[in-house]
Amino acid sequence: MDFSATQAQDELSALGRRILTDRVTADRLAELERGGQGFDADLWAELAAAGMLGAALPDSVGGDGFGLAEQCSILAEVGRAVAPVPYLETIVLGAGAIARFGSAGQVTRWAVPAATGRLVITAALAEPGDDDPRAPSVRAERAERTERGGRERAERAWRLRGTKTTVPAGLPAALFLVPAATRSGTAPRHRRDLRAPARRHRAGARADRRVRQDPAAVRPADRGVPGGGAAAGRRLHRRRGDQADDVAGRLAARVRPAV
């Protein structure tokens, strides 16, 4: 088995290292910290302009079609520079999952702008005492019918009940992917658009409110749409593997000066 890096990995790694070395300086990090910002929007835009964000995404979202190996190369450089950008959350866990499991409309609405740096996505996977999104304790329930204008109609909404913890990139994110169980015990993909009126909330806070919902986003098994648990499982395995590359990059940055 050949474990050598591909040409694409080498090129993406070199490009990422050059941009991040130039932009992620001690002064810049201090400036962001003084401003209470954990996200460098200017750097994110520059990575998007260089094609770094879309490189390891499929053609369906306007990417170059590379995959996990190339994502790991980019993440290693992000970790090496300790860059305050949500590549893991937005590209790997967000746009990548939507491109694989989402409808055409969801891909156009969410994954395409994420691939070009116009939208930040994150995934709320961890729960108190458990981080397996395939068996979430958070539940998604249909919102009750409401009376409007003398006519009763069902809102296109779900209610989330439960707690998610340690949600990365929560402040700049416009969209959260939240694994949640339904009455049937499945784990559908639940997307919460934080550009809806209930926008502000604390990352890791208890959720018990109505959520404006892309009507095709929640996919219970009783609607005959497979893949809820598969999507959550895929995000879990991708997160663990890519977090390892992020950490490896950070360790390499610390060890190199001492060698």
Q: How confident is the model at residue 199 (pLDDT cuts 50, 70, 90)?
A: very low
96 vs 79: CA distance, rounded Å: 19
What number is the average pLDDT over the span 92-111?
A: 94
Instruction: Considering only residues 165 and 198, tell me which one the structure prediction assigns the higher pLDDT.
Output: 165
Angle at 142 between CA 204 and CA 217, to 5 degrees: 70
* 48-52, 97-101, 138-142: range with lowest mean pLDDT: 138-142
- Across 30-34, 51-55, 158-162, 169-173, least confident range: 158-162
Does this chain's domain 7-119+235-258 share its CATH topology with 123-144+156-228?
A: no
Determine the CATH number of domain 7-119+235-258.
1.10.540.10
pLDDT classification of 171: cutoffs 50, 70, 90:
very high
Rounded Cα distance, 86 and 75, in Å: 10
Between 227 and 143, the more confident residue is 143
> Which residues touch 62 (CB under 8 Å, ≥6 apart)?
54, 112, 115, 116
How far apart CA 181 and CA 160 sit, in angstroms, is: 9
| Mean pLDDT, residues 84-98 | 96
What does the H/E/C string look like for the chain?
CCCCCCHHHHHHHHHHHHHHHHHCCHHHHHHHHHCCCCCCHHHHHHHHHCCCCCCCCCHHHCCCCCCHHHHHHHHHHHHHHCCCCCHHHHHHHHHHHHHHHCCHHHHHHHHHHHHCCCCCEEECCCECCECCCCCCCCEEEECCCEEECCEEECCCEEEEEEECCCCCCCCCCCEEEEECECCCCCCCEEEEECCCCCCCCCCCCEEEEEEECCCCCCCCHHHCCCCHHHHHHHHHHHHHHHHHHHHHHHHHHHHHHHC
Residue range 123-144+156-228 in CATH 1.10.1740.10: no
C-alpha 78/C-alpha 245 separation (Å) is 9
Model-level pTM greater than 0.85?
Answer: no
| 10 contact partners, CB below 8 Å, separation of at least 6 | 73
Q: Would you kindly state where each structural domain of the chain is located, as residue ranges?
A: 7-119+235-258, 123-144+156-228
pLDDT at residue 257, as a whole number: 46
As a whole-number percent, the residues of the chain with pLDDT over 90 amount to: 53
pLDDT at position 230 is: 52
Higher pLDDT, 81 or 220: 81
Per-residue pLDDT, averaged over 195-211, amounts to 39
pLDDT-based confidence at 158, cuts 50/70/90?
A: confident
69 DSSP β-pair partners: none
Higher pLDDT, 135 or 198: 135
pLDDT digits (tens, 9 = 90+) for 22-32: 999 999 999 99
% of the chain with per-residue pLDDT over 70: 66
Decide if pLDDT at 232 tops 50: yes
**Greater confidence, 103 or 153?**
103
Contacts of 252 (CB under 8 A, 6+ apart): 76, 79, 80
User: What pLDDT does residue 82 have?
Assistant: 95
What is the pLDDT, as a whole number, of residue 183? Answer: 81
- In single-letter form, the type of residue at position 4 comes to S
In this predicted structure, what is the pLDDT of residue 245? 54
